[in-house]
Amino acid sequence: MKLLNLETTALVRRGFLKHLLAVPAALALATTSLPTMADSANTTGLAVTKDTVKVGILHSVTGTMAISETGSVQAEKLAIEQINAMGGVLGRKIEYIQEDGASDWPTFAEKSKKLLVNDKVAAVFGCWTSASRKAALPVFEQYNGMLYYPTFYEGLEQSPNVIYTGQEATQQILEGLDWASREKGAKKFYLLGSDYIWPRTSNKIARKHIENKLGAKVVGEEYYPLGHTQFNSVINKIKLKKPDVVFISVVGGSNVAFYKQLKAAGIDMGKEKPLFLTISVTEDEILGIGGENIEGIYASMKYFQSLPNENNTAFVKAFKERWGDDIVIGDVTQAAYLGPWLWKAAVEKAGSFDIDKVRAASPGIELTTAPEGYVRVHENHHLWSKTRVGHAQPDGQYKVVYESSELIEPDPFPEGYQ
Amino acid sequence: MFAEYTAAELTSIFAMQGFAGLILFSVFVLMALGLAIIFGQMGVINMAHGEFMILGAYTTYLISNLFADYLPGIYSSYFFIAMIVAFFVTGALGAFVEWAMIRHLYHRPLDTLLATWGLSLIMQQFYRTVFGAREVGVTLPDWLMGSIAVTDMVEIPINGLFVMGLTIVITVGVALMMQRSHLGKQTRAVVQNRPMAAAVGINTEKVDRLTFALGCGIAGVAGSAFTMIGSTGPTSGQLYIVDTFLVVVFGGAASLLGTVASAFTISQAQSTMEFFLSGSMAKVLTLLVVVGILMLRPQGLFTLKVRR
């Protein structure tokens, strides 16, 4: 404060005009965002004051991805509000700056730079598609930021500047395939996906696992362009090849078309001939597909809204109170909710907001309060988590029919699967 | 590749595959018809065509909710009313857009392209604000779902039959209107020679507005029908726009017959190849064939002979 007074008096001598301009600026500095440089909790000039810390939320709220990313934004805001109600992080209230990635990958990079360089946020919760993460990644590495990324994804990545709160491909896929083989006696698999990196990498892993570990057969592997709306040909092929399991990683609007046409083609998904196992349809997607059109399929992921445990009951209740009764919560929404909590735990363990210290403190961080149950951060920045298989009900919810007995180790660079 | 299947299995699969091709054909015609009228008769490239379709889909969604809440007794027939309402709602918006925007941009095709593209963004954001970013689920009456089992293997989806029937009705209706009705004759007169048509007393502005409204209205009906087979979300219209333009351009802009022929060619090529190749490769090959033919015949399959 003394320093500031000196500065103002010095300015008086230089002239009236400059004085006029300087006073409001100095006042603003003194009241709101005076950086506490000497504070050991913040030695690198992040936007941290005595009472507040700024973080960023970076998702698409406009454009084609808004449909998927809305849930993540809601989850992150809820987590931040809950943390603030509990007293914040290291005694500081979290303030978030929300930026819109607008479903445009270069925009994600631009906004990341804005958050890190101009706003000096202590952490960013954001990105959804792999493409947006890949676009933002160089910015986070260059300016040393911290990104909490919520989506299940294809793996093959491990950045010191990202904590991956969703599952990588092997965690999500292998358990589901094992379950189908063991419980349902599946011998013939048909792989179907949208044509981009995540389904292709996932199916590559699935095929190796089916052929080498399960000793079963892949009778078809097929990709359709993103946004494809006519699936009658592939439905005929499935009828002809008679697989035991159709393993599906179709995304976006194509999903709706696929399941509606499947039902219209006279395939009763409840009969499990074939059995449909998806890794891409969460409760969020079912909202658009319609529960009656997808009843009877199975999904393999780490979280379902119906998970019966106390953490989850409280989470679902809080989420509905905050965002409305009609809302549903999917796998990614839950993973996004973990971001702020994992960051809080790491900051408190490190006793500092400094990115390097938070990074060093992250591996080994545990959450006992996660809606999905206990999770722990691995050395490779992914989470140890369980995988569940859910059975789709007509009301648009999944019923959990299987849960892995152990936490599954994240393995973003799986040997023998590439 | 077929050695392991019996002759009966193969016959029924090919029968179903042929039917899948016909459904695809109907879908293509239905979505391209509105655009063909606007593009062909008026020379306006309507980039917001997909959004007009989705307006029809959202109208269907609203009507279905209304029926579920207030008229559950006759819920099973809501779909017909929804299609009629969708036609008039999108048609009315089309007339308004023509009056407010398009008519100022005739003779500037590139500007209409930009303006209608902007319009499509506005409409998308409007849907997102009103209906939310997530897709909405349109509940269908039971009689539209499911299939007719012809034999053990051959099953024909009812909604596919419905789309085919609707396409035939609308195509025949539009063809009759263009050939026989007063408005149709006026429209063709305006297309062939605008100043002369005006000179003999045709109100060309009115004809333009009605044509544009009609094209948009048909898009609305198509969107309404597509709630059976596709998604309804703010950006779902984008899923159809590329195929729609492909069909119209390949068919020859000014010819309805061309649109039908082109939809048939593309749909059959695509569904046949989809059966033997993967979906993405089928699409690539289809596009290659279309590009190749357009290089030899830039005007498309069919053209209207007009004295310039």
For residue B253, the model assigns a pLDDT of 67
Q: Is A222 on the interface with B (CB under 8 A)?
A: yes
**Percentages (nearest 5) of helix, strand, coil residues in chain B:** 75, 5, 20
Distance between CA A11 and CA A14 in Å, rounded?
5
Chain B residue with the nearest C-alpha to that of A222: B278
Residue A21 has pLDDT above 70, yes or no: no
Choose, out of B231, B266, B281, the residue to mutate when testing the contact with A (most A CBs < 10 Å). Answer: B231
**Mean per-residue pLDDT, B118-135:** 89
Rounded to an integer, the average pLDDT of B157-184 is 90
CA distance A167 to chain B (A): 23
Together in a domain, A263 and A190: yes
A18 pLDDT band, cuts 50/70/90, is very low
8 Å CB contact of A227 and B278: no
- Residue A62's closest chain B neighbor by CA? B125
Instruction: Single out the residue of B228, B229, B231, B237 nearest to residue B55, CA to CA.
Output: B237
Total domains in the fold of chain A: 3
Q: What is the pLDDT of residues A363-384, one digit of tens each?
A: 999 999 999 999 999 999 999 9
> What one-character-per-residue DSSP string does A195-225 give?
SSHHHHHHHHHHHHIIIIIS--EEEEEEEE-
A290–B139: do the CB atoms touch at under 8 Å? yes
Residue of A61, A73, A222, A230 best to disrupt the B interface, most CBs of B under 10 A: A230
Do A84 and A6 sit in the same domain of this protein?
no
**Res. A168: pLDDT tops 50:** yes
Residues A174 and A282 in one domain: yes
Higher pLDDT, B243 or A401: A401
Task: Name every residue whose Cβ is closer than 8 Å to that of residue B148 and which is 6 or more positions away in sequence.
Answer: B155, B156, B158, B161
The answer to whether residues A279 and A208 belong to one domain is yes
B133 and A61 in contact by Cβ < 8 A? yes
Q: Which residue of A has its CA nearest to B26?
A: A230
> Tokens 């946004």 sit at which residue?
A227
Greatest mean pLDDT among A394-408, B5-19, B124-138 lies in: A394-408
Distance CA A391, CA A272 (A): 11
Strands A275-278 and A245-249: parallel
Residues of A in contact with B231 (CB under 8 A): 229, 253, 255-257, 288-289
In chain B, residues with a C-beta closer than 8 Å to the C-beta of A397 are none
pLDDT at B180 over 80: yes
Q: Quick check: A12 pLDDT over 60?
A: no
Q: Give the residue on A whose Cα is nearest the Cα of B123.
A: A63
* B contacts of A230 (beta carbons < 8 Å): 20, 23-24, 27, 229, 271
Confidence of residue B305 (pLDDT cuts 50, 70, 90): low
Give percent of chain A with pLDDT exceeding 70: 91
- Which one of B30, B140, B229 makes the best mutation probe of the A interface by having the most chain A beta carbons within 10 Å? B229
Specify the pTM. Answer: 0.83
Most confident region among A43-47, A116-120, B73-77, B186-190 by mean pLDDT: A116-120
Nearest CA in chain B to A252: B231
Domain ranges of chain B: 12-241
Instruction: Looking at the structure, tell me whether residues A357 and A334 fall in a common domain.
Output: yes
**Predicted local distance difference test score (pLDDT) of residue A319:** 97
Residue A415 lies in a domain: no
- Indicate whether B243 pLDDT > 90: no
> Residue B148: which pLDDT band, with cuts at 50, 70 and 90?
confident
Residues paired with A89 in a beta bridge: A92
Are A121 and A235 contained in the same domain? no
Cβ distance B17 to A230 under 8 Å? no
Report if residue A326 sits inside a domain.
yes
Same domain, A271 and A368: no
Does residue A408 sit within a domain? no
Number of H helices, E strands in chain A: 14, 15
The answer to whether residue B267 scores a pLDDT higher than 80 is yes
pLDDT score at A110 = 96
Mean pLDDT of A289-300: 92
ipTM of model = 0.81
**pLDDT of B306:** 52
Amino acid at B109: P
pLDDT at A74: 95
- Say yes or no: A154 and A9 in one domain: no
Coil, strand, or helix at residue B138? coil
Share of chain A above pLDDT 90, in %: 70
C-alpha to C-alpha distances, B308 to A258, A262, A320, nearest whole angstrom: 47, 50, 65
Higher pLDDT, B231 or A99: A99
For chain B, give me the number of helices (H) and strands (E)? Answer: 11, 2
Amino acid sitting at position B303:
T
Contact B128 A62 (CB under 8 A): yes
Residues A265 and A398 in one domain: yes
A265/B280 Cβ within 8 A? no
A74 located within any domain: yes
> Would you call B24 an interface residue with chain A, using a CB distance cutoff of 8 Å?
yes
Query: Rounded distance, CA A404 to CA A360, Å?
Result: 29
Q: Is residue A320 part of a domain?
A: yes
CA distance B184 to B291: 32
> What's at A141, amino acid-wise?
E
CA distance B136 to A285: 10
CB contact under 8 A, B133 and A195: no
Q: Do A222 and A358 fall into the same domain?
A: no
Report the candidate in A151, A88, A71 with the shortest Cα–Cα distance to residue A316: A71
Q: Hey, are the CB atoms on B5 and A240 less than 8 Å from each other?
A: yes
Residue with the two structure tokens 């004085």: A19
Mean pLDDT on A255-267? 87
- pLDDT bin (cut points 50, 70, 90) of residue B166 is very high
Question: Helix, strand or coil for residue A93?
Answer: strand
Q: Is residue A47 part of a domain?
A: no
Instruction: Please give the DSSP secondary-structure letter assigned to residue A52.
Output: E
Residue indicated by tokens 């040393």: A144
Question: Do A153 and A263 share a domain, yes or no?
Answer: no
- Residue in chain A closest to B6 (alpha carbons) equals A240
For residues A305-309, average pLDDT: 95
**Does residue A130 lie in a domain region?**
yes
Domain range for A379 is: 52-166+309-384
A229 touches chain B (CB under 8 A): yes
The answer on pLDDT for A392 being more than 60 is yes
User: What pLDDT, in 10s, does the model give residues A30-72?
Assistant: 444 444 444 778 888 899 999 999 999 999 987 777 778 889 9
In sequence order, what E strands does chain B have? 147-149, 155-157
The mean pLDDT of chain B is 87
Q: What is the CATH number of the domain that holds A159?
A: 3.40.50.2300
The DSSP secondary structure of A350-407, one letter per residue, reads HTS--HHHHHHH-TT-EESS-TTS-EEE-TTSBEEB--EEEEE-TTS-EEEEEE-SSP
- Which one is predicted more confidently, B137 or A313? A313
- Cβ(A120)–Cβ(A47) below 8 Å: yes
With a cut of 70, say whether residue A116 has pLDDT above it: yes
- Cα separation, B308 vs B306, in Å, equals 6
pLDDT of residue A13: 43
Supply the pLDDT for residue A243.
Answer: 94
Same domain for A225 and A212: yes
Whether A64 sits inside 8 A of B280 (CB atoms) is: no
pLDDT of B184 > 80? The answer is: yes
Q: Kindly determine whether residue B133 and residue A222, on different chains, have CB atoms separated by under 8 Å.
A: no
Interface touch B149/A266, C-beta < 8 Å: yes
Residue A3 pLDDT > 70: no
Cβ neighbour number for residue A412 with a 10 Å cutoff: 19
What is the per-residue pLDDT for A147?
Answer: 97
Q: Looking at A15-114, list the stretches that DSSP marks H as alpha helix, in order from N- to C-terminal side.
A: 16-31, 66-85, 105-113
Considering only residues A147 and B269, tell me which one the structure prediction assigns the higher pLDDT: A147
B234 pLDDT above the threshold of 90: no
Asked, for residue A409, whether it belongs to a domain, the answer is no
Reduced to 3 states, what is the DSSP secondary structure of residue A277? Answer: strand
pLDDT band at A14 (very low <50, low <70, confident <90, very high): very low
Measured between alpha carbons, how far is B225 from B166 in angstroms, rounded to an integer? 8
